C-alpha cells in the first residue's frame, strides 16, 4: 500500500479526491489517499503551496512532493523541503492558457474594444492589419509559452519568443539571453509574459525595458504579478508608451479594491483565471509520477531548485 498525503485546501480535496482515486486505479497503484497521516508514514505528498503544511522535516520517508500548481515560487525557497519536487504540467492547464492568450491577443489585434463599446454613429472604416503583419513576443518558452507561441504562429502572427536557453521552435523566432530580450521587446506590438517568478525574472518589465517596446504596445501578463514593476507600468500607460495591459496576476491577490489597476482606463483585470489545473488530467499526471517513483524511473517535471523553476 502506498500512502499519499493530500496537502492542499479542503476545497481542493472535494475536487480531487475522486479523480485521484480513479487515476491511481487506472495506473494500477494500490494507494491509501488521505488528508492526514503520521508524517513518518507518508510516501508521496500531493501539494499546493497555500497548504498549512510548510515544514517537511518530519516527512522522512517521503519520496516526492507533487505540486498541483505550475508555479513553484512559493515553495522553491523552503529549506525544509529536501525531497524531489515536481511541478504541474497538465494538458488541461496548457489548453486553458492557449485559449486565454489567443482570445486576448485577438481582442487587441482586431481592435474589438472600439466596436464593443460602440462607435455611436461615427462610421470609421478602419480595417485591422492581418496577423501576418502583427508582431507578437512571448517571454518564456516553456510548457505554456511555447504552446501559446505555436498557436499564435498557426494563426499567422509574426511570433518571437524568448527564453533562458537558446531554442529552435518551428515558425518562431527564438531569442535568448540579455541582448535577446531587448531584441524581442523592440518588435513587440503585443507581449505575453509566461515566465516563472524567480530572482532573475522579478521586475523583468521595468521603466527601462518598457521603453524598449514600440510606442502603444500591449502587455498580457498571465505569468506572475511581480514580473512587472507596477509603478513603471502605470507611468508607461499614462504616457501612452504602453497602450493597454491585460493583467491576470498580481503581487497581492485578490488585487486590493483600491489598486490603481482597477480603475485605469487602459488596464483590463482578470482575476487569476487565465488557466487552472484540471482535476481529471492533473490526477493522471500525479498518478504517473507515483508509478514512476515506485518503478524506480525518473520523475516527470522536476523543479530545478537552483534555477527556481
Ligand X SMILES: NC(=O)c1ccc[n+]([C@@H]2O[C@H](COP(=O)([O-])OP(=O)(O)OC[C@H]3O[C@@H](n4cnc5c(N)ncnc54)[C@H](OP(=O)(O)O)[C@@H]3O)[C@@H](O)[C@H]2O)c1
Residues of the shown chain interacting with ligand X in the complex, contacts defined by CB under 6 A: 70-71, 93, 140-145, 163-165, 194-198, 200-201, 222-224, 248-249, 272, 274-275, 309
- Identify whether 305 is a catalytic site residue: no
Query: Which of 164/264 has CB closer to ligand X?
Result: 164
Question: Which is the catalytic residue, given 87, 104, 107, 224?
Answer: 224
Q: Taking the complex as a whole, how short is the minimal distance between the CB of residue 3 and ligand X, in angstroms?
A: 28
Q: Which of 117, 115, 113 is closest to 125 using CA atoms?
A: 115
**Among candidate residues 169, 229, 219, 157, the one with its CA nearest the CA of residue 194:** 219
| 196 phi, psi to nearest 5 deg | -80, 160
Question: Helices 91-110 and 143-154 meet at what angle, rounded to 10?
Answer: 50
Partners of 32 in the beta sheet? 3
Buried b (16+ CB within 10 A) or exposed e, 41-70: ebbbbbbbbebeeeebeebeebbbbbbbbb
Q: Least CB distance from residue 274 to ligand X, whole Å? A: 4
Chain centroid to CA 150: 16
**Torsions phi, psi for 221 (to 5 deg):** -120, 95
Residue among 153 and 198 whose Cβ is closer to ligand X: 198
Question: Smallest gap, in angstroms, from Cβ of residue 25 to ligand X?
Answer: 27
- Which C-beta is closer to ligand X: that of 41 or that of 99? 99
- Given 259, 272, 301, 305, the catalytic residue: 272
Question: Is 264 a known active-site residue?
Answer: no
Closest CB to ligand X among residues 95, 294: 95
Closest residue to ligand X using C-beta atoms: 142
How near is the Cβ of 175 to ligand X at its closest, in Å? 10
User: What positions carry a catalytic annotation?
Assistant: 224, 272
Amino acid at each position: 500500500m502506498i500512502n499519499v498525503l493530500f496537502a492542499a485546501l479542503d476545497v481542493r480535496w472535494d475536487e480531487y479526491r475522486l479523480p485521484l482515486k480513479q487515476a491511481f486505479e487506472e495506473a494500477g497503484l494500490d494507494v491509501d489517499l488521505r488528508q492526514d497521516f503520521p508524517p513518518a508514514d507518508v510516501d508521496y505528498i500531493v501539494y499546493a503551496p497555500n497548504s498549512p503544511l510548510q515544514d517537511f522535516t518530519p516527512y522522512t520517508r517521503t519520496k516526492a512532493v507533487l505540486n498541483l500548481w505550475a508555479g513553484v515560487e512559493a515553495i522553491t525557497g523552503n529549506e525544509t523541503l529536501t525531497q524531489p519536487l515536481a511541478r504541474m504540467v497538465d494538458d488541461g492547464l496548457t489548453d486553458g492558457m492557449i485559449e486565454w492568450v489567443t482570445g486576448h491577443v485577438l481582442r487587441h489585434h482586431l481592435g474589438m474594444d472600439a466596436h464593443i463599446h460602440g462607435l455611436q454613429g461615427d462610421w470609421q472604416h478602419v480595417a485591422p492589419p492581418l496577423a501576418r503583419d502583427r508582431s507578437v513576443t512571448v517571454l518564456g518558452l516553456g510548457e505554456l509559452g511555447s504552446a501559446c507561441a505555436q498557436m499564435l504562429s498557426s494563426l499567422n502572427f509574426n511570433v518571437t519568443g524568448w527564453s533562458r536557453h537558446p531554442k529552435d521552435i518551428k515558425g518562431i523566432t527564438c531569442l535568448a539571453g540579455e541582448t535577446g530580450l531587448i531584441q524581442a521587446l523592440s518588435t513587440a506590438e503585443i507581449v505575453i509574459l509566461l515566465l516563472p517568478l524567480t530572482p532573475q525574472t522579478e521586475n523583468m518589465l521595468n521603466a527601462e525595458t518598457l521603453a524598449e517596446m514600440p510606442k502603444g504596445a500591449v502587455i498580457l501578463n498571465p505569468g506572475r504579478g511581480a514580473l512587472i514593476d507596477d509603478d513603471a507600468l502605470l507611468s508607461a500607460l499614462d504616457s501612452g508608451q504602453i497602450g493597454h495591459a491585460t493583467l491576470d496576476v498580481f503581487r497581492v491577490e485578490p488585487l486590493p479594491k483600491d489598486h490603481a489597476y482597477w480603475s485605469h482606463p487602459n488596464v483590463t483585470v482578470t482575476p487569476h483565471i487565465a488557466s487552472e489545473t484540471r482535476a481529471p488530467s492533473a490526477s493522471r499526471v500525479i498518478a504517473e509520477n507515483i508509478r514512476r517513483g515506485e518503478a524506480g524511473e525518473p520523475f516527470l517535471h522536476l523543479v530545478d531548485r537552483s534555477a527556481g523553476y
